[in-house]
Structure 1
């Protein structure tokens, strides 16, 4: 009986396949190379044997909640994959992600590579240092303030569109672009999430590629991609960039939990094929936009200009392919994070009328009769505004999952436990932000006042919306300025309530945590 006939046999074939899978997963479990079984580190039984448990949670879009439930059952240390320990202790954050500890990003990040490795997904320490040196100066506080007019321009366009909706006659049921709204009891009821998506994409398109995508004006999810690399006369097509970005996040975050040897086979499955196509479309968007910009030089000051001006220690600028990869990174990081966070902040403020009223009072007193869209300098020292934003980022950290790191040679001791070289560790922000010993017994509630009460040293240890250490979000200054201007101008202009006050904020998690919608009622403030 030939080997092929054995494998194709309806009884022996599946039996042999099952045996191979059992041996492949069982042997590492009993060998216990990293001592997890010996140390008794708890976790779902399937997670101890296979990466399937974590991949399943990622594909379902609830990875952070699932890991959080395991931490609630088992404590600070949970085994979420055969070689992956999740540690929810604030002290672990300072050790695993700190400068100079030698930990490296894992193969998880290979699933996010498109065009070529960028600052986010490069795993080589020296290459990351080179890239960060070229890029980090772009996001210095001084440089970031040069970008404020772009943010203000997008907000002005948003208000023009929302004012059309808010001023519609009572009883109106209609669409603006692709966005449904209805007017009832002197309020316009609509889903605010798409509008924050349009704002975030238009801002980052303006900053990275030299012009907005035009989503606010069109009131729809669309971005132009020129076929043929944006050569003169090339046909232009439009893609739903927001939807594609969401599909790409789901795909990459799930693929990253699967062993590298299995990824080429998994990508042949229909769901993964769709995600892979989304990655290609998003890369095409960046390639076309960068080509368009390089073919039409300008003296405007924006992110792409700064990227072009950056040089490494040898005085070398970024090559075209590397420049495009970094532009794509900024598009992804600068759009989804801002829109997700803005939506979540407005949701929590609308759900807490007392906090909203208190914030509006602070803004009214600080800004007086100044312009409709306040300046960053007017906002950056308002304590309750900052508290409202931070409290929403605590409950809805757009990056909630534990970012995996590999322990270097010599091992690493974390919270009293020693982990040998090659062990994979992470700290889940979702769980860290809900620890009652840090945030109090009301840790699940939205209460901005806690930020004016809690010891600031503890906050530095337990608040992690932008990650920590040398791989922390390089665009944090820009993100902070955007949120201050967007939230302050929005709540100062509109009175906002939830259409369905008892609703929870429904989310889905790819790499980032995204609201699925936020139905609100708006009216102009008197």
Structure 2
């Protein structure tokens, strides 16, 4: 049984039942006559059976015979993935992996068959073209027969094909289509923040950034509006559906082999089911209504006629969930993190405001995207926030394909079948790549403003991942970030309050694949 698990990693429920229950049950029946009762025979047999499997697994994983024996890491991690499951459930994976790299070095064995890498030279080998396919952590997130969204595809050829409509929607021509939508939503955000500043002494800045990003993401994807800003937040409890789903997925990814059995035994999780239903509703309404712009749906449903056939509704709905999560929470994270650091560094905020005022008159909305793209300090502040808190802090798991013979990753040989990830949070905060890595220093991004002795490795900066599977919407995200930051800084004074909690704010950040930030309470005043 152990040899079967080790070599083939069976995942189908029937095979797991046979291996984990059928074999010990058969053994118990054959030795039952040697015991005083059948219950004692069953308990004893199962104890010996599972104890033997665990001892064999532990001995092999800790032995010099294991392919990853030469890679250091905690004994608990080398024995099992369950410690990482516990860490992930608490949302502290980003800090834990950073601590491991500080102790064990650039290559750390974080699981029985997984490596985490904190080496900028390895980025190209893992994520660059042709790169490595995604690892087993992406398996079995959906019941058998359901469409797998783009983000979770392990087949690199299929990924490249499915990415094409996304690329068309978000190329330079597509961005022009979205510009009026971005301007309209930024204008609405500033209006609601202004009203909030007059109505109360303290507002939850993080909530408003999330309301903005969702209010922008849905129209750009489905040409509809759920008026999150007008309602002052998520009055229909849509956000927790996706957030709780991401938390569950980030934890379950380490026992992905067990998920088919979970799906077979239990109906689809009610949160996931509701998320799918909501997205299908958006897709269905958008399909019936048509669109005034060439939104993402226009390309996904093949309204441009560039693909041979239209995809089914389920396929578009699967992509829709990805579009909402990837396009909204990531933007809200970057905006909230940036203003957190600006609140802690008043001189940086003053310098940023001076640059905005030098490019736009007080009666002029700062939404000229060409001008914004050329504003050095604005872009430096955004880059610095993305460096400190990238949207996906712990990276995306890849795997050295079985049968490949292994691969050189940087200066190290990694055996075939090994799961591997580039730990973005650790690389971004590595002093070998960036001097004073935990400090908010936008000047490091200025060629003329950066001290000559400051270490700055732009090749280690991968907030949108890297290579052929990087974030396809990064240019739209940057467009949104520039417009929002410039507009808020121009129109409003933002300051901390007694309830801002700046001292413990970073300790409350959660890593559940996407980055979830705690509330950020601020005082707003119209300039």
Q: TM-score, normalised by structure 1?
A: 0.85
Residue 152 of structure 1 corresponds to: 183
Aligned partner (choices 512, 523, 526) of residue 525 of structure 2: 523
Aligned partner (choices 261, 265, 290) of residue 264 of structure 1: 261
1:316 CA displacement? 3.4
Secondary structure at the aligned position of 2:255 is classed as coil
Aligned partner (choices 409, 434, 437) of residue 414 of structure 1: 409
Residue 464 of structure 1 corresponds to: 462
Secondary structure at the aligned position of 2:516 is classed as strand
Deviations for 1:244-294, whole angstroms, at most 9, x for unmatched residues?
Answer: 11101101111111141366349979xxx9x93222111111101111111
Residue 437 of structure 2 corresponds to: 443
Tell whether the 8 Å contact from 1:108 to 1:256 is kept in structure 2 after alignment: yes
1:13 CA displacement? 6.8
Say whether residues 1:326 and 2:319 are aligned partners: yes
Residue 51 of structure 2 corresponds to: 19
Residue 198 of structure 2 corresponds to: 167
User: Over aligned residue pairs, what C-alpha RMSD do you find?
Assistant: 2.7
1:504 CA displacement? 3.0
1:356 CA displacement? 0.4
Q: 1:75 to 1:303 in 2, by over 3 A?
A: same
Deviations for 1:367-393, whole angstroms, at most 9, x for unmatched residues?
Answer: 124523422122000010001011111
Tell whether the 8 Å contact from 2:298 to 2:304 is kept in structure 1 after alignment: no
Say whether residues 1:386 and 2:382 are aligned partners: no
1:142 CA displacement? 2.5
Q: How far apart in 1 are the matches of 2:474 and 2:520?
A: 25
Residue 502 of structure 1 corresponds to: 503
Deviations for 1:77-107, whole angstroms, at most 9, x for unmatched residues?
Answer: 1110000011100001111111024x21112
Say whether residues 1:35 and 2:64 are aligned partners: no
Deviates more, 1:467-476 or 1:300-309: 300-309
Residue 370 of structure 2 corresponds to: 377
Residue 208 of structure 1 corresponds to: 221
Q: How far apart in 1 are the matches of 2:288 and 2:65?
A: 54
Tell whether the 8 Å contact from 1:111 to 1:252 is kept in structure 2 after alignment: no
Deviates more, 1:494-503 or 1:58-67: 494-503
Q: TM-score, normalised by structure 2?
A: 0.85
Q: How far apart in 2 are the matches of 1:123 and 1:276?
A: 23
Residue correspondence of structure 1 range 452-491 to structure 2 within 5 A: 452=446, 453=450, 459-491=457-489
How many residue pairs get matched?
483
Residue 60 of structure 1 corresponds to: 90
Residue 300 of structure 2 corresponds to: 307
Secondary structure at the aligned position of 2:505 is classed as coil
1:321 CA displacement? 2.4
1:497 CA displacement? 1.6
Tell whether the 8 Å contact from 2:353 to 2:489 is kept in structure 1 after alignment: yes
Q: How far apart in 2 are the matches of 1:163 and 1:214?
A: 17
Tell whether the 8 Å contact from 2:60 to 2:66 is kept in structure 1 after alignment: no
Deviates more, 1:123-132 or 1:254-263: 254-263
Tell whether the 8 Å contact from 2:136 to 2:399 is kept in structure 1 after alignment: no
Tell whether the 8 Å contact from 2:434 to 2:457 is kept in structure 1 after alignment: no
Tell whether the 8 Å contact from 1:86 to 1:402 is kept in structure 2 after alignment: no
Q: How far apart in 1 are the matches of 2:331 and 2:488?
A: 14
Tell whether the 8 Å contact from 2:118 to 2:426 is kept in structure 1 after alignment: yes
Q: Gaps (5+ residues) in structure 2?
A: 1-27
Q: How far apart in 2 are the matches of 1:414 and 1:357?
A: 43
Residue 254 of structure 1 corresponds to: 251
Secondary structure at the aligned position of 2:230 is classed as helix
Deviations for 1:335-381, whole angstroms, at most 9, x for unmatched residues?
Answer: 11111111111111111101000000000001124523422122000
Q: 1:311 to 1:488 in 2, by over 3 A?
A: same
Q: How far apart in 1 are the matches of 2:85 and 2:264?
A: 14
Residue 109 of structure 1 corresponds to: 138
Secondary structure at the aligned position of 1:439 is classed as coil
Q: Gaps (5+ residues) in structure 1?
A: 169-181, 184-188, 223-238
Normalized per residue, the structure richer in strand is 1
Residue correspondence of structure 1 range 235-254 to structure 2 within 5 A: 239-254=236-251
Say whether residues 1:293 and 2:282 are aligned partners: no
